[in-house]
Amino acid sequence: MQATRKLPPVTEVGMLSLALIVAGGIYLSAHLPRHVPLAPAVILLAASALLLAGNLLSLTRVPSFAWSRFFEIARWALLAYVVTAGMIEYAFVRDHLSGGPLLVLTLSLVVYAVHVPVLIAFTVARYYDPSEATA
Amino acid sequence: MASVGGVASQHHEAAPAEAPDAQQDFEVVPRRGLIGVAIVFVCVVAAIAANKLWPLAFLHFVGGASWTIIDLFLGFVLGPILGSLSVPAKIEMTKKLMPKMVLIMPTVVTATLAAGWQLGVHLGTVQSTYYHHGWTVASFIVVGVMAVIALGLLEPANIAVLVELKKRRPDPEVIEKLMKRFIYTAGATGVMQIATLVIMAKLTVG
């Protein structure tokens, strides 16, 4: 089984990253329509984005990772999650959300729409040997 | 919750019984089902655009009920049954069930959350001035935790098990591991759905 290879904790880090943007989203949503101090949400978003970057960086250091399979899955997953992120963004814009909160929530959706496909593609690619013939 | 298990101990005798080509005669994402997904998403966008109570409530209630029932059913009914099946039957069941889950779960979750948020805006229940605001925030937290579990564990396992089954020689150990992860996380989110039901009942009666 390919999973016995030593791999970085991409799923765990990814879930932490998602938890941080969800926490930021809840923080902002819980204050509506009052003025929201943005600093906590920005810190959570920045930490989440850093974890995403760290996850991608750690993956690039994995020897013999099945990148072709990773990208094959990631691009379709990205398409799907961009659609769902677009629907959520539409709801925010429809409700006249603007300024800093809209920017933070939009960037959070970007992290979400990138990180979930990374997790899906990683979970698939970790069980592949790059030299393995695939269907 | 019963194990999905037993594959690891049985696959050596079961694997040769599987004809390689027969393993691959399914679609990871059923293309015809995408039409249904598109229809649901168009309905959600139309309901949000119209901002009318009935369509928003309909989509939120139907989506939420489906989400809860599917999670509980997978975790506590189908999971134990799947665990007791023979390896070929388990693989056959997985090939039939999981492609449908790839489409159903993200669609149901997105429709529930998007329509639910707009319904809250329409009714004013998401405003911090709402008298049960604490309950609303509690629902955000429960849904947030469920979303992280579903996005980080459940959905990747769903896709990965199907791609594994598409291989010329699927590894039963990998299938076993991923199916366990899928069923257990579905069961865990199903239990959390009960908390959502308690909160929603409170918000409904005031």
pLDDT for A19:
96
Instruction: Inspect the interface and report whether the beta carbons of B151 and A119 lie closer than 8 Å.
Output: yes
* Paired tokens of A78: 């990205």
Interchain CB contact of B164 with A (< 8 Å): yes
Distance from CA of A99 to the nearest CA of B (A): 18
Distance from CA of B56 to the nearest CA of A (A): 12
Sign, Cα dihedral of B156, B109, B47, B128: negative
Q: What is the pLDDT along chain A (135 residues), one digit of tens a residue?
A: 554 668 899 999 999 999 999 999 999 888 877 788 899 999 999 999 999 999 999 999 988 888 999 999 999 999 999 998 998 888 888 877 788 888 999 999 999 999 999 999 999 999 887 766 444
* Peptide bond connecting A117 to the previous residue in cis, omega within 30 degrees of 0: no
Q: Which residues of A83-101 are buried (b: 16+ CB within 10 A; e: fewer)?
A: ebbebbbbbbeebebeeeb
**Dist. CA A32–CA B199, nearest whole Å:** 20
Identify the residue whose tokens are 């069980």.
A127
DSSP annotation of B15 reads: G
Average pLDDT of the residues in B5-26: 48
Instruction: Inspect the interface and report whether the beta carbons of A18 and B155 lie closer than 8 Å.
Output: no
Nearest CA in chain A to B163: A124
Of A3, A94, A135, nearest to B166 by CB-CB distance is A135
Q: How many CB atoms lie within 10 A of CB A72?
A: 16
Interchain CB contact of B103 with A (< 8 Å): no
Would you say residue B9 has pLDDT above 70? no
Which of B123, B100, B104 is CA-nearest to residue B112?
A: B104
Residue pair B91/B165 in contact (Cβ under 8 Å)? The answer is yes
Would you say residue B193 has pLDDT above 90? no
Q: Kindly give, in sequence order, each residue whose CB lies less than 8 Å from that of residue B166, ignoring residues fewer than 6 positions away.
A: A134, A135, B23, B24, B28
* Paired tokens of B206: 């005031």
Residue pair A7/A124 in contact (Cβ under 8 Å)? The answer is no
Which of 36-95 (B) contact A at CB < 8 A? 41, 44-45, 48-49, 51
pLDDT for B104:
93
Average pLDDT of the residues in B52-80: 90
DSSP annotation of B24 reads: G
Would you say residue B11 has pLDDT above 50? no
pLDDT for B24:
66
Distance from CA of B96 to the nearest CA of A (A): 18
> How confident is the prediction for chain B on average, in pLDDT?
83
Indicate which of A10, A120, A131 best probes the interface with B, i.e. most B CBs within 10 Å of its own CB. A120
A7: chain B residues, CB-CB within 8 Å: none
Instruction: Inspect the interface and report whether the beta carbons of A95 and B118 lie closer than 8 Å.
Output: yes
**pLDDT tens digits for range B93-144:** 888 888 998 899 889 988 998 999 899 889 888 888 888 888 999 999 999 9
**Dist. CA B127–CA A13, nearest whole Å:** 32
pLDDT for A133:
47
Would you say residue B197 has pLDDT above 70? yes
Q: What is the pTM of this model?
A: 0.83
Distance from CA of A45 to the nearest CA of B (A): 15
What ipTM does the predicted assembly reach? 0.87
Identify the residue whose tokens are 């995403």.
A52
**Dist. CA B43–CA A81, nearest whole Å:** 18
Indicate which of B27, B159, B165 best probes the interface with A, i.e. most A CBs within 10 Å of its own CB. B159
**Helical ranges in chain B per DSSP H:** 7-14, 33-50, 53-73, 79-84, 87-123, 133-149, 155-166, 172-205
pLDDT for B12:
40
State CA B194 to chain mean position distance. 15
Distance from CA of A38 to the nearest CA of B (A): 16
Q: How many CB atoms lie within 10 A of CB B39?
A: 11
Phi-psi region of B6 (alpha: psi -120 to 50; beta: other; left: phi over 0): left
Instruction: Inspect the interface and report whether the beta carbons of A88 and B113 lie closer than 8 Å.
Output: yes
* Paired tokens of A41: 């949400």
Would you say residue B156 has pLDDT above 60? yes
